[in-house]
Structure formats: C-alpha cells, structure tokens
Amino acid sequence: MITFKNLVAGYGRAGDILRGIDFTAPESAITCIVGPNGAGKSTVLKACSGLLRPRGGQVLLGDEEIGGRSPAEILRRGVVQVPQHHGLFPSLTVRENVMLGAFVNRRERDRNRRRYEEIAQVFPLIAERAGDKAASLSGGQRRTVEFARALMLRPRVVLLDEPTLGLDPKACKQIADSITTLNKEGVTVLMVEQNVRFGLTLADHAVVMEGGRVLHTGAADALLADPDMGRLFFGAAPEQQETS
Amino acid sequence: MGTLLQALILGLLVGGVYALVASGMNLIFGVMQVVNLAQGGMLILSAYLTYTLWEATGLDPLLLVVITTPCLLVVGWATYYIFIERSRTTDASMALVTTFGLTLVTKGVIALIWGNEPRSVTPDYANRSFSVLGLRFPQAQVYACLVAAVVLTGLYLLLRHTWLGQSIRATASSSEGARLIGIQVRSTWAAAFALGVAAAGAGGSLLSVLYPFMPSSADHWIGLMLSIIVLGGMGSLPGSVLGAVVIALAESLTSTYVSPDWAAAVPYLAIILVLVARPQGLLGARLREDMSRA
C-alpha cells in the first residue's frame, strides 16, 4: 500500500507542481491517476520512485517513509517505476534489458537467473526475442519488456507512467494484458494514464487530479459511469469519448 | 605485389594501435556525448610516463601498460570529478571548452617536467623485423599490435559481460532509465570517463615505442583520433576499430604509392568525405539512443 500525505513537490527553482496530495493506492489493486495535462500526475510517480525529492509531506510504503530516498533504496524496498519515455535500453538485448531489472541485487546471480526463467514463461516474448536488440521491437513489445524487467525484483508496487502513450489499439490490448499479469502476481499497480477509458476500465480505484491537487478519489467503475465527472474533467462523457 | 602486401601489413599493424588510441575517446563520447579533446594530452602524458619508467627501470616499454593504464585510470577518474562533471551541468559546449583547456594545461605541465624536445623509447627490438616469405614484419609494430588487441579485447569483454559494462551501456542509452533501475549514474559516468582515459594510457605506452613524441604531439593525435571516430561512427567501439584500420591502411598506401608527405593529410580527407557521404560514420547509429553500441 502506498500512501501520499500532504505531498508537495516541484522541479528546480520553479514553483510547486504538487500542492498537498493526499490519497492511498490500496494493496494488490490497480489505481489509476487521471487528469488534464499539467495536473502533476507524472510528478506523483517521480516523487514516489525517488527521481524527485519531495519538498514537503510524506510518501509511505506501508508504514515506512520512502519520500526523499534514492531510486536504488526505493527499488530495494520493492517499488519499481516504468517511465513514460526512455525506460528501455535500445542498444542492449532483450535479455540484458530484463536482467538489468535486478541490478540492485546483481550479486545474487543464481536467483536472478531463475527469476529470469520464470518471467520468460509469463511473457513468451522475452524467450522468443531474448537475443534481439531492444531497438528492433515494436512500441507494444518494448513496453512488455519494460514490464517484464519491472518484475525481476518481485516488486510490491509498480508505477506505470502513461503505459499506452503512442501505441496503436492492438498494442494497447497487449499492454492491458501485461498490466493484468502484473496485478495477478500480487503487485500493487499505480498508473498514470491519459487514455481515460483505458485506464479506468483496467483499474479498481481512480484518482482525479487537477492543478497539483486531488479532486476526487473513488471506485474506477463509478467514475467511469459518472457523466458529470466525464464532462467536467475529460471534456466529454466516456461514451462520447469512445465514439469521437 | 610484394610492395602492396608490405604496405597492407604495416597498415594493419599500425591500425591495431590506432584502434586502441581512439577507442577511449569513442567510449567517452558514446556514454556521455562529451568530445574529450584532452585525450591527446593524456596519450602523450602516458608516453612520457613510459619513457621515464623505461629509463629508470629498463623494463620493456610495451609491458609498462600494466603501470600506465591504472595510473591514467586514476587521472581520468579525478579529472571527471574535478572538471568534467561540473562543466557538464552548466552547458554541453562547456565540457568541450573544458577539455580543450585541459589539453593546454597538460601540454604545459609536460613541457615543464620533461621539456619540449622530442623523445623516443627505443627498446632492443625497435629496429628489428621478422621476415616471412620475403615480407618484413617490424617487431615493435607486431608486439604493439598484439598488446593493443589484448587491451581492446579486455575492454570489449568488460563492456559486454560485466555489470559495470552493462551499467555503462545502459546509462549511455538512457540516464533516467538507468537511474530507475538503481544504477548510480554519476559513478557510472566517472567510470566510463576513467576507462576512456585509461585506454589512452595503454595507447600512450604503445605509441612511445613506435613514434617520437613531444608535448605538441597531442595535437596530431587528437586530430587522428577524431578522424577515426568520425569515420568509424561516433560512439561505436567496433566502429573505432574499423575506422582505425581504414585510416592506417590509407596512410600506409598513400605513403607507399604517393608520398609520405601526403599520408598525414589522409585522416582529414577521410573526415570530409565521411561527413558528406555518411555523417553517422561507417558503423555509427543514426539515432542518438543507439550511440552506445559496444
């Protein structure tokens, strides 16, 4: 379970992007953060993974404060982020990319090798394309490799930043399957998604953000069915979005 | 035919040494996108260290790579933390200016310690050759090429098959991605820079046996290194080897069939032709994200 308490964060000398965030991503569930551009959705994930040091408030993994720790320390506690861009290393092979997911535990060679074999069974693509350069993969396949890599450390929490960004509908279906696979492994998923219908259909819980603040939290299916929320925050009701 | 074969043999032997000399600069560029103009100064510094150690101990100068390489590794490590890291955070072009300044300082320090007159390292085998089927294999070039091959193979295996190598290649692809999997990016950049300078350390020992050198030789070698990595592909280690061999062969053939005076112009002609016809180099990647191909 990840809890954000009055979280304040921003970049450089600029003003705060997050202005007191409060919500909880429940254990073993999929939580989706939605909201307009500039709402601070990705910043929440960066503050959680250690890429960004919070200026105030707390990020709690269970009861432990992880806000302000380094990415490596947070990884060791079981929180892994799959970033929006540049998460994969194109010049490395698929196998090397996946194995690097265990970089912080690199001395445990046998355990890492066993874990890799397990993951290759869950994601057949990993076994099929093990020796290929990641640069040769399609967008959806790249995402699958990133998800597979995220599982190397048997994470408690996976943070997904715009997992369907730039992908076609077929690749989005692959991603949905991969996220479901992650969740079936008992992983808590906290994701940011611009494709509101995709995110809320997949998620158990929803968080709506705007201007660095949380406007609404609740069940994802309820939010999806609420025409007022659709009109207010997504420009149109979900049914209208789908047909537009 | 014999003349052609002889020119090819000399070109290939020298190409091996050129490959080592250029590989360090290319590694640094591939990982950090920094054109390290100080690399020529580091190369000559290593040549002078070899000269001093050879005079003091009488040890084989080619075997002194086991001393000069770690020495330059430390120099590279310190240089990164003291000068390069800070300049990179301000502006990308500042790193270039910083390395240019470091070249001037290195040449000045070398001149203060060893003077400006040319030096050369001349072990017993410097003027001896093996003779096979009427072809001449100069011993110094043969031994230097073998040492360069061993060092380059070690560097390649390190980049391919160790966690340090994989973290260097991953950081070259995406520093943010690397950070997210727990790689200490700052230390990795320092390690890559140090390894690059260490390669110049090994190369400096080899060239001290093959060519006379003085502080200003740094300028000639930096020009040659730039030619090789532009020709082979910036950021590509196999590209360095290919570029080095092509340039060494071109120099050797030009020297044999045209004039030794024209041989020095070959690297610069190669740069111009490559920039016009294939800007990414022979084995270079078009995409910046693919720059780290080891």
How confident is the prediction along chain B (294 residues), in pLDDT tens digits per residue?
778 889 899 999 999 999 999 999 999 998 888 899 999 999 999 999 999 999 999 999 999 999 999 999 999 999 999 999 888 777 768 888 999 999 999 999 999 999 999 999 999 998 888 988 888 899 999 999 999 999 999 999 999 999 999 999 999 988 888 998 999 999 999 999 999 999 999 999 999 999 999 999 999 999 899 989 888 888 788 888 999 998 999 889 888 888 888 888 877 787 788 778 877 777 766 543 443 444
Assess B293–A contact: CB distance below 8 Å, yes or no: yes
pTM recorded for the entire structure: 0.84
Helix then strand then coil, % of chain A, to nearest 5: 45, 25, 30
Interatomic CA distance for residues A66 and B14, integer angstroms: 55
User: Contact at 8 Å (CB) between A206 and A220?
Assistant: yes
Give the mutation candidate from A11, A51, A86, A89 for the B interface (greatest B CB count, under 10 A).
Answer: A89
- Residue B283 pLDDT: 75
- Nearest CA to B48 among B106, B4, B9? B106
- Residue A237 pLDDT: 47
- Residue A85 pLDDT: 79
| Distance between B94 CA and the closest CA of chain A, angstroms | 21
- Residue A236 pLDDT: 52
- Residue A57 pLDDT: 94
- Nearest CA to A66 among A151, A153, A157? A157
Whole-complex ipTM: 0.78
| Distance between B75 CA and the closest CA of chain A, angstroms | 28
Mean pLDDT by 10 residues, chain A (244 residues): 93 88 94 91 94 94 92 92 86 93 91 92 90 90 88 91 83 85 88 89 93 92 80 55 42
User: Contact at 8 Å (CB) between A148 and A123?
Assistant: yes
Interatomic CA distance for residues A1 and A26, integer angstroms: 5
Neighbour count for residue B267 (Cβ, 10 Å): 23
- Residue A114 pLDDT: 94
Element holding A159 (H helix, E strand): strand A157-161
Using CB atoms, pick whichever of A72, A90, A100 lies closest to residue B290: A90
Q: Do B182 and A72 touch (CB under 8 A)?
A: yes
Interatomic CA distance for residues B100 and B106, integer angstroms: 10
Helical axes B92-114 vs B39-57, angle rounded to 10°? 30
Residue of A nearest to B30 (CA): A91
Q: Which of residues 154-213 of B touch A (CB under 8 A)?
A: 163, 166-167, 169-170, 172-174, 176-184
Contacts of B173 in chain A (CB under 8 A): 86, 88-92
- Residue A127 pLDDT: 92
Question: What tokens appear for B172 in the block?
Answer: 């070259």
Domain presence at residue A99: no
User: Contact at 8 Å (CB) between B233 and B284?
Assistant: yes
Residue of A nearest to B289 (CA): A90
| Distance between B77 CA and the closest CA of chain A, angstroms | 23
Domain presence at residue A188: yes
| Distance between B76 CA and the closest CA of chain A, angstroms | 25
Domain presence at residue A225: yes
- H helical segments located in B115-259: 139-161, 163-173, 175-180, 185-210, 217-232, 237-257
Residue of A nearest to B174 (CA): A86
Domain presence at residue A114: no
Question: What tokens appear for A243 in the block?
Answer: 């047909």
List phi, psi (to 5°) of B174: -160, 110
Interatomic CA distance for residues A66 and A52, integer angstroms: 12
Q: Do A100 and B170 touch (CB under 8 A)?
A: yes
- Residue A86 pLDDT: 76
User: Contact at 8 Å (CB) between A92 and B173?
Assistant: yes
Neighbour count for residue A243 (Cβ, 10 Å): 6
Contacts of A103 in chain B (CB under 8 A): 163, 167, 181-183
What count of CB pairs under 8 Å joins A to B? 73
Contacts of B178 in chain A (CB under 8 A): 89
Domain presence at residue A22: yes
CATH number at residue A184: 3.40.50.300
Q: Do A103 and B290 touch (CB under 8 A)?
A: no
- Residue A234 pLDDT: 59
User: Contact at 8 Å (CB) between B148 and B206?
Assistant: yes
Q: Do A92 and B174 touch (CB under 8 A)?
A: no
Contacts of B163 in chain A (CB under 8 A): 103, 106
Assess B89–A contact: CB distance below 8 Å, yes or no: no
Alpha carbon separation from B87 to B38, B77, B81, B91, B251 (Å, rounded): 14, 15, 10, 7, 36
Report the b/e string of B205-232 with b at 16+ CB within 10 A.
bbbbbbbebbbebbeebbebbbbbbbbb
| Distance between A146 CA and the closest CA of chain B, angstroms | 10
Structural domain containing residue A226: 2-86+155-234
Residues in A whose CB is inside 8 Å of some CB of B read 49, 51, 71-72, 75-76, 80-81, 83, 86-92, 96, 99-101, 103-104, 106, 135, 149
Using CB atoms, pick whichever of A88, A91, A106 lies closest to residue B292: A91
For CA atoms B283, B289, B292, B294, give the dihedral sign. Answer: negative
Q: A191-222 pLDDT, tens per residue?
A: 999 888 889 999 999 999 999 999 989 999 98
Count of domains observed in chain A: 1
Question: What tokens appear for B223 in the block?
Answer: 């020009």
Domain presence at residue A208: yes
